[in-house]
Amino acid sequence: MTEPILVVDVGASGTRVALVVADQTTLVKEPASGATSWPSSVCLADEGFLVGTPSEVRKRAMPRRYIDGPRRAVDAQAAMWLEHREVTGAEALTAYLTVVANEVRQLYGGQIDRLTLSVPADYLPGDPRRDAMLAVGAAAGFRDVELIDSAVAAALDPTTGDNLPAGGLVLVCDLGATWTVALVQVYGSHTVQLAQQTSPAGQELDALLINDLRTEGRAWLEPMLAAPGDAGLRAYHEAIDFARRLKHQLVDADEVVDHLTPLTPPYRLTRAWLDAFAEPALRWLVDGAAGVLGAVGAAPADLAAVVVAGGNAYLPAVHTTLRSGLGIIDAGSPGPLRCGPDPELAVLRGAARFAAGASGRTVTAEPQRWRTEPTSWEIPGGRARLLRWCVPPGEPYPAGAVLAHIRTPDERVFELTAAQHGRQLGQQAYPGDLVGPVLVVATAKDAVALQRQPPPRRRHLESTGSWLLTPDREHLVECDPAARLVRLRAIADDTVRAEFRPEHTAGAEPTGRVFVDPDGRLAVVAWATDGFISVWDIETGKLSARFRDPGEPYRVLIDETGWRAAAEGRAKAVGRYRRTVTTLWDLRTGSQIDRITDDRWQQRMPEFAEHSRREGFGTAAVSADGQLRAAVADALDGIAAVVLQDTSTGQELFRVLGGTGQRVRVGFSADSRHLLANWESNERSLIDVWDV
């Protein structure tokens, strides 16, 4: 997708903006200041709304027409007064977003019709505030508005979210003006938020700093705040900005001293005092983390990562508190605690990554399936109300059976009957629904019809290496004979989702295959005649073990349950005999377990095999919906065949023969829509995929 997408993260004090075009993301700085953060403020001037830095400049002249954080009014679902005019949060935020959009359109030099907008983690599905944010985006001139939860966006931040396992749990600590702790499960663009807790801890910390400023400067600050008219309000705004500025200065210093104005006495703030002021917020942070983990029955040990984001991620005590509170001991390593550069941009970076994947969020029309066909009725008069279904889904019915009753607008009742015997698979309309001009349902073909028309072969793939059907039966893994290239293909659309190229040692040409470790993760195990055996985790691409077998193995078998390797070396003299020496290795540590000279060792240890036994291929398989069974059968002259049967009747529906000398294994995709066969010979390995 080359359509430009504007990505906006509206924070309580700062807004961050990016433009995504194809796979290129550009951070958009505020034109008025050149800063990466646009002040989240609005000032209602006589000429209209001013936003960002122009609003900050004008607030000194008209502080009663100024408001910072207009989204907070949306959060509270409340209105606010800008001097004598009542303004809703949606109205102020629309004005803000409209100015931002116009600025970016001018820089881009063209129209931008699509918007991705971050929303707080507590805007849960069904929350009316989500509708308000969608309306704001539409009112700002965008045709398509997409929302992304800020915690989900932070988890997708490419500076911290790479190398996370699919399905991994990530604890996101988004520490802005509002502090949020959320538990997120990572599945790329389908990443979801499982639980969250939110606190005004950031605002409360700022309030404590301002109170300390008022206490220390009571002799000179209180008279300024108590000044009548706009002067007191102006002083209050300046005090807030001053306290926030000092807080951020303590990131790189143990102590700061500054003046609110050139004429006021100095004010001193130390890091120790800042840590003391932050203590209640940090205590909530640990309690909030425990709360969201407990909400889903998880523990800190289950986390793939802890991501810290937001402007207050700079607070020195945050990381120390999280490490001690969650029991993270990897203080000097990348480990599970992650904080990217410029953490206040984490949500924007993740939202931009999400927006860049918009082209992958498509829904393709369902093709007609081999086992089903549509049954349709033209509705008399073009419109009727469905009264009832007479045959439940899944139940067989004979030709002429009444499947449903409908009532037309002139109060006549019609029966919808079956033209031939069959079985209804699903109903797209429900009693009480208006239907017409045509009502269509999916029905199952009978065995005779299926035998007359074999399933279409959708795909024929060839490799000189090996294939593996992942245990979730959603992907095919291709591994070339030397284990130098591994490809992960989606069965649903045949797209190559990932490629991995292991780095081998220099020397003999390796041999390798893909296996499934005891944790269910895909791993490449490769070996060479110079004795080196290597193991890589495919998902992370990391080398997990490498060791050398002095026996120069020519064949390696794997025990996936115990995660062991059996390396068979060349025959050596043992007394008066020459015997093959087999060495057992621990694939986790690379340590030797045992040496075996018994040629019959495999009979005692059948768990060792050349192929993965935890994958989705086998000599027989049943589809997930339980309706089909595929099995390997021997045909004449030793030629293998794949036979497909109806599980309810045992009737054969389809048979296909292999080639001479081929071995075959079968499996079904997770959605039961595809039958797969892996034909192997000494020269090549083939994959056939049929739509069933």
Instruction: Find the mean pLDDT for residues 575-583.
Output: 71
> What are the φ/ψ torsions at residue 321 (nearest 5 degrees)?
-65, -45
The answer to whether 630 touches 620, Cβ cutoff 8 Å, is yes
Per-residue pLDDT at 332: 40
The candidate with the shortest Cα–Cα distance to 661, out of 634, 644, 638, 628, is: 638
Per-residue pLDDT at 372: 80
Per-residue pLDDT at 312: 86
Rounded Cα distance between 600 and 329, Å, is: 47
Per-residue pLDDT at 333: 40
Rounded Cα distance between 16 and 33, Å, is: 13
372-445 classified as CATH 2.40.50.100: yes
Q: Read off the pLDDT band of 405 (50, 70, 90).
A: very high
Q: Tell me the CA distances in angstroms from 508 to 245, 324, 351, one per residue in order.
A: 62, 48, 46
Rounded Cα distance between 429 and 505, Å, is: 62
- In which element (H, E) is residue 116 found? strand 114-119
The one-letter code for the residue type at 147 is L
Q: Read off the pLDDT band of 334 (50, 70, 90).
A: very low
The answer to whether 670 touches 626, Cβ cutoff 8 Å, is no
> What are the φ/ψ torsions at residue 286 (nearest 5 degrees)?
-70, -45
pLDDT at 443 over 50: yes
CATH number of 504-604: 2.40.128
- In which element (H, E) is residue 374 found? strand 372-378
Most confident of 402-411, 434-443, 468-477: 468-477
Higher pLDDT, 574 or 596: 596
Q: Which fold has domain 165-339?
A: Nucleotidyltransferase; domain 5 (3.30.420)
pLDDT at 229 over 50: yes
Per-residue pLDDT at 433: 87
DSSP-derived 3-state class of residue 562: coil
Question: Any residues with CB less than 8 A from the CB of 116 and at least 6 apart, and which?
Answer: 5, 6, 7, 8, 20, 146, 147, 148, 351, 352, 354, 355
- In which element (H, E) is residue 102 found? helix 89-108
The answer to whether 473 touches 450, Cβ cutoff 8 Å, is no
Where along the chain do its domains lie?
A: 5-159, 165-339, 372-445, 447-480+487-498+616-692, 504-604
Segment 109-158, tens digit of pLDDT: 889 999 999 999 999 888 898 999 999 999 999 999 999 999 999 999 99
- In which element (H, E) is residue 101 found? helix 89-108
Rounded Cα distance between 37 and 176, Å, is: 13
- Identical fold between 5-159 and 165-339: yes
Segment 483-493, tens digit of pLDDT: 999 999 999 88
Segment 42-60, tens digit of pLDDT: 888 888 888 888 988 888 8
What is the number of other CB atoms lying within 10 angstroms of the CB of residue 110? 9
3-state secondary structure 298-322: CCHHHEEEEEEECHHHHCHHHHHHH
Tokens 């200041």 — which residue? 33
* Pairing of β 41-45 and β 38-39: unpaired
578 class by beta-carbon count within 10 Å (0-12 exposed, 13-18 middle, 19+ buried): exposed
Q: Read off the pLDDT band of 309 (50, 70, 90).
A: very high
Per-residue pLDDT at 331: 43
pLDDT at 311 over 60: yes
Reading the block at residue 299, the tokens are: 């523990």
Please state the pTM of the whole predicted model.
0.63
Rounded Cα distance between 276 and 602, Å, is: 66
Higher pLDDT, 201 or 161: 201
Question: Any residues with CB less than 8 A from the CB of 544 and at least 6 apart, and which?
Answer: 523, 535, 536, 537, 588
Reading the block at residue 298, the tokens are: 């998880």
Q: Which fold has domain 5-159?
A: Nucleotidyltransferase; domain 5 (3.30.420)
pLDDT at 335 over 60: no
Rounded Cα distance between 166 and 187, Å, is: 5
pLDDT at 87 over 80: yes
Alpha-helical regions (H) of 510-645? 601-604
Segment 351-399, tens digit of pLDDT: 999 998 887 776 665 666 788 888 889 999 899 999 998 988 878 888 8
Instruction: Find the mean pLDDT for residues 336-340.
Output: 87
